[in-house]
C-alpha cells in the first residue's frame, strides 16, 4: 500500500512540473509504476495540504530505494552534498530525517519565464518564499532537501545555490597623492551630485565628515538595512570607514583626512551584521534596491567591499548576476578583490583567490597596494594579502586595477565592534591637531580600503563627464593606470612572517589608479570592457583572450600591451610570470588554478575585506 500511495503522489508531483523529467531523477520500480497506472483509469487529485503532507515522506522513500544519484548540474556543490548525504542514508528513518532538513536557497529561473508564476509553483510544492529578486529573475526560498533534485529538473530553473554567508572583507598611506587624485581635487572636482551606494555594514550617518557643509545635513541621503531586526547604523565599523574613503570631507581633521569625492552623496545599504557577516540574499536585495533608487539619488557607483569565496562560474553565481544587472542599468560596480593573497592552502601561492563578485568580468575588481607611508611611488609594493587571479572556473584576468589599501586612515564608528576589539587602531586626535577627547578616525587594511578609493575616483570622473558609460569608465581607468612592471618583492607582515610576491597581470591588473590621467585623457572608446580570459597552451604559455567586442580587441590604441603594459606581457598577449599559474601539471596547485573542481567546499561566508590586525609593515 505504501508503494502504491508513493507512486501516485509522484504522478501528482509530475503534474506540477509537467516537463521536469521527474522520472529521470526518481525512477520507481515497475511494481510501483503498475500500481500507479492500473488498467482502469484513475484520476489522481490532491489538495495542497495533502501535497505538502506526503511530499517529504514520498521522496524520502524513493530516494532511499534508488541507486546513487547523479550530480545535479543545476545545483551548487553544497546542495549536491546535501543530496549525497541523503542518498547515503543507512535507513529509511535517516533518509526521512535528511529529506526533511530545511535549507535556504536562491533559485534563478530562465530568461522569459514569468517570475510570479515560477514563485507560486515553488510555493505550491512546499517552498517557503522569503524574498523576490527581479534583477536575477529569481527568489529566496526555504525548501526541504527532498525538493532539490526535482527543482533542478524543472526546465524553468537555471541554477540553485544556498543563501551563502557574505564576509567583510597608516603610518598614513598617501592615498590621494599615490593615485594622482589631489591634482583633480585641487582643480575643483568634488563628486558633487554623484550618488555612491555603499553596500556594507552600515554607515554612521551623523559623522561630521559626512555632513554637507553648505546645508548642515548629512550626505548620507538614504539608509536601509537588509539584515532582519537591525537598522542601517554601523555596528561593525567597516562601512563607515569605507564611506569616509569615498566621500569624507576632513571636517574633524581640518582637511587632513579627506576622501576622494568630498561632496558625493552616500546611499547606505546595510548587508552585514555587527560581526561583519551577511548573506548572498541580502547583497542581491541591496543591489536590486540600488538599481531601483538610481534615478532618485543619481546612483552612478556601487561599492562592494564585501564578498566570499568562489563556488561556481560567475555565469551561475547570483551575486555576480546581480552586479551585471546593475552594470547594464548604468551603474559602475567597484568590488574588492579579497584578502587571500597569502593563502597557500591549495599550493597556489595565493593565485586564483579572487572572491565573488570580483570574479565577474563586468565589474572593476580592485587589489591593494602598500605605499609604505611615503609620497613617492618608487617604493610602492603590492600588499601581500591582496587576492590574485585568474579566477576559479572561468580564468578571468583579475584584478583589473590596484589602489592603496594598507593601513588606511578613515572614519571611525565609535563603539563599533572593530573599535571595541581593536582600540589601538584609533588615531589620536593630537595627530591631526585636535584637542578632542575621542577619536574620529582609525586605520584598517585590505582590499576593502582600496576599492572605495577607486569608487571615489569614479565619482570624480563622472562629475567631469556625466555621459560616460560603465564600460567607458572602466576602460579609461585601466588604460590610464600607472603601469607597474614585473618585479619581485618581499613583504613583512604584522605577524612577523615574510611573504614573497611577483608583480604580474594576475596581481596588479592594468596597474595603479591614476585619477588625473583618467579624467584628462578624454578618449572615448566604443565596445565593452569585459576583463579578458586567461588561456594556457600546450607549451605552458598563458595568454589573454579578449572578447571580440571589447575595447582591447578592436584598437591598437586600446590593445593589451597599452592597457596592461609591455612589462607584464611578452609577445602577443602572453602574460609574464613564473608562478604556479605557469607551472606544469605535476604541481599540486596547477589543477586548482586550471581545473574546474570546487576548491573551497563548505563554510563559505561573505565578509568585509578589511583587517584590523593583519597588514604589511611599512
Buried b (16+ CB within 10 A) or exposed e, 324-341: bbbbeeebbbbbbbbbbb
Residue 180 to residue 376: CA distance in whole angstroms: 11
Phi, psi dihedral angles at 319 (to 5 degrees)? -70, -40
Look up residue 527 and give its DSSP letter. Answer: S
Look up residue 9 and give its DSSP letter. Answer: H
Q: Which of 95, 119, 108 is nearest to 6 (CA)?
A: 95
Write down the residue that cell numbers 563548505 correspond to. Answer: 602
Residue 237 to residue 204: CA distance in whole angstroms: 8
Residue 245 to residue 431: CA distance in whole angstroms: 18
163 is known as an active-site residue: no
Write down the residue that cell numbers 593630537 correspond to. Answer: 430
Question: CB neighbours of 442 closer than 8 A, spacing ≥ 6?
Answer: 237, 241, 409, 410, 411, 412, 418, 419, 422, 425, 426, 427
Query: Measuring CA to CA, how many Å separate 401 from each of 191, 572, 618?
Result: 21, 21, 22
Largest pairwise CA distance in the chain? 93
241 is known as an active-site residue: no
- In this structure, the number of other CB atoms found within 10 A of the CB of residue 278 comes to 30
Phi, psi dihedral angles at 534 (to 5 degrees)? -85, 130
Q: What is the DSSP string of 466-509?
A: TT--HHHHHHHHHHTSBP--S-EEEEEBTTS-EEEEE--HHHHT
- 506, HSE (Cβ side, Cα atoms, 13 Å): 35
Q: Which of 559, 379, 352, 584 is nearest to 484 (CA)?
A: 379
- Among 154, 200, 394, 419, the active-site one is 200
- Among 9, 238, 372, 395, the active-site one is 238
Residue 618 to residue 616: CA distance in whole angstroms: 6
Pair 134, 114: CB distance under 8 Å: no
Q: At what angle do helices 77-87 and 92-99 cross, to 10 degrees?
A: 160
Using CA of residue 70, residue 73, residue 74, residue 76, what is the dihedral sign? positive
- Among 448, 455, 550, 579, the active-site one is 448
317 is known as an active-site residue: no
Q: What is the DSSP string of 538-573?
A: TTS-EEEE--TTBHHHH-STTSHHHHT-GGGEETTT
Active centre residues (catalytic):
200, 238, 448
Amino acid at each position: 500500500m505504501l508503494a502504491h500511495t508513493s507512486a501516485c503522489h509522484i504522478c501528482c508531483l509530475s503534474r506540477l512540473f509537467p516537463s521536469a523529467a521527474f522520472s529521470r531523477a526518481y525512477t520507481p520500480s515497475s511494481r510501483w509504476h503498475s500500481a500507479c497506472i492500473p488498467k482502469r483509469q484513475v484520476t489522481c487529485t490532491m489538495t495542497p495540504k495533502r501535497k505538502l503532507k506526503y511530499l517529504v515522506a514520498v521522496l524520502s522513500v524513493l530516494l532511499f530505494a534508488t541507486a546513487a544519484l547523479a550530480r545535479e548540474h543545476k545545483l551548487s556543490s553544497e546542495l549536491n552534498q546535501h543530496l549525497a548525504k541523503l542518498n547515503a542514508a543507512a535507513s529509511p528513518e535517516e533518509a526521512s530525517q535528511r529529506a526533511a532538513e530545511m535549507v535556504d536557497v536562491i533559485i534563478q529561473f530562465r530568461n522569459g519565464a514569468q517570475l510570479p508564476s515560477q514563485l507560486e509553483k515553488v510555493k505550491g510544492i512546499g517552498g517557503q518564499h522569503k524574498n523576490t529578486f527581479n534583477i536575477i529573475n529569481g527568489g529566496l526560498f526555504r525548501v526541504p532537501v527532498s525538493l532539490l533534485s526535482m527543482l533542478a529538473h524543472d526546465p524553468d530553473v537555471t541554477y540553485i545555490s544556498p543563501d551563502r554567508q557574505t564576509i567583510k572583507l597608516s603610518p598614513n598611506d598617501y592615498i590621494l597623492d599615490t593615485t594622482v587624485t589631489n591634482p583633480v581635487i585641487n582643480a575643483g572636482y568634488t563628486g558633487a551630485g554623484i550618488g555612491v551606494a555603499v553596500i556594507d555594514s552600515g554607515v554612521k550617518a551623523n559623522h561630521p565628515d559626512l555632513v554637507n557643509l553648505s546645508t548642515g545635513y548629512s550626505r548620507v541621503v538614504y539608509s536601509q538595512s537588509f539584515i532582519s531586526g537591525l537598522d542601517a547604523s554601523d555596528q561593525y565599523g567597516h562601512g563607515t570607514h569605507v564611506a569616509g574613503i569615498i566621500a569624507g570631507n576632513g571636517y574633524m581633521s581640518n582637511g587632513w583626512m579627506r576622501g576622494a569625492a568630498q561632496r558625493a552623496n552616500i546611499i547606505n545599504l546595510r548587508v552585514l551584521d555587527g560581526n561583519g557577516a551577511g548573506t548572498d540574499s541580502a547583497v542581491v536585495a541591496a543591489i536590486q534596491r540600488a538599481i531601483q533608487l538610481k534615478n532618485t539619488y543619481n546612483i552612478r557607483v556601487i561599492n562592494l567591499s564585501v564578498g566570499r569565496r568562489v563556488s561556481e562560474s560567475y555565469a551561475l553565481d547570483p551575486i555576480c548576476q546581480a552586479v551585471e544587472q546593475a552594470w547594464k542599468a548604468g551603474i559602475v560596480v567597484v568590488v574588492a578583490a579579497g584578502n587571500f593573497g597569502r593563502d597557500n592552502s591549495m599550493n597556489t601561492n595565493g593565485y586564483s583567490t579572487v572572491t565573488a563578485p570580483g570574479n565577474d568580468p563586468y565589474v572593476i575588481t580592485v587589489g591593494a597596494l602598500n605605499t609604505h607611508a611615503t609620497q613617492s611611488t618608487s617604493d610602492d609594493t603590492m600588499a601581500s594579502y591582496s587576492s590574485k587571479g585568474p579566477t576559479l572556473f572561468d580564468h578571468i584576468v583579475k584584478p583589473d586595477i590596484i589602489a592603496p589599501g594598507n593601513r588606511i586612515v578613515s572614519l571611525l564608528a565609535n563603539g563599533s565592534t572593530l573599535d571595541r576589539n581593536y582600540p589601538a587602531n584609533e588615531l589620536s586626535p593630537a595627530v591631526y591637531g585636535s584637542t578632542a577627547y575621542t577619536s574620529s578616525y582609525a586605520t584598517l587594511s585590505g582590499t576593502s580600503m582600496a576599492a572605495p578609493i577607486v569608487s571615489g575616483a569614479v565619482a570624480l570622473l563622472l562629475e567631469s563627464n556625466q555621459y560616460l558609460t560603465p564600460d567607458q569608465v572602466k576602460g579609461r581607468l585601466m588604460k590610464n593606470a600607472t603601469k607597474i612592471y614585473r618585479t619581485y618583492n618581499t613583504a613583512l607582515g604584522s605577524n612577523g612572517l615574510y611573504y614573497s610576491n611577483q608583480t604580474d597581470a594576475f596581481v596588479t591588473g592594468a596597474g595603479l589608479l591614476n585619477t588625473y590621467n583618467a579624467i584628462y585623457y578624454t578618449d572615448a572608446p566604443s565596445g565593452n570592457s569585459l576583463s579578458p580570459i586567461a588561456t594556457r597552451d600546450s607549451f605552458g604559455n598563458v595568454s589573454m583572450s579578449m572578447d571580440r567586442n571589447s575595447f582591447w580587441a578592436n584598437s591598437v590604441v586600446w590593445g593589451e600591451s597599452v592597457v596592461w603594459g609591455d612589462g607584464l606581457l611578452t609577445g602577443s598577449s602572453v602574460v609574464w610570470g613564473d608562478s604556479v599559474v605557469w607551472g606544469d601539471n605535476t604541481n599540486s596547485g596547477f589543477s586548482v588554478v586550471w581545473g574546474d573542481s570546487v576548491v573551497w567546499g563548505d563554510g563559505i561566508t561573505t565578509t568585509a575585506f578589511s583587517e584590523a590586525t593583519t597588514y604589511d609593515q611599512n
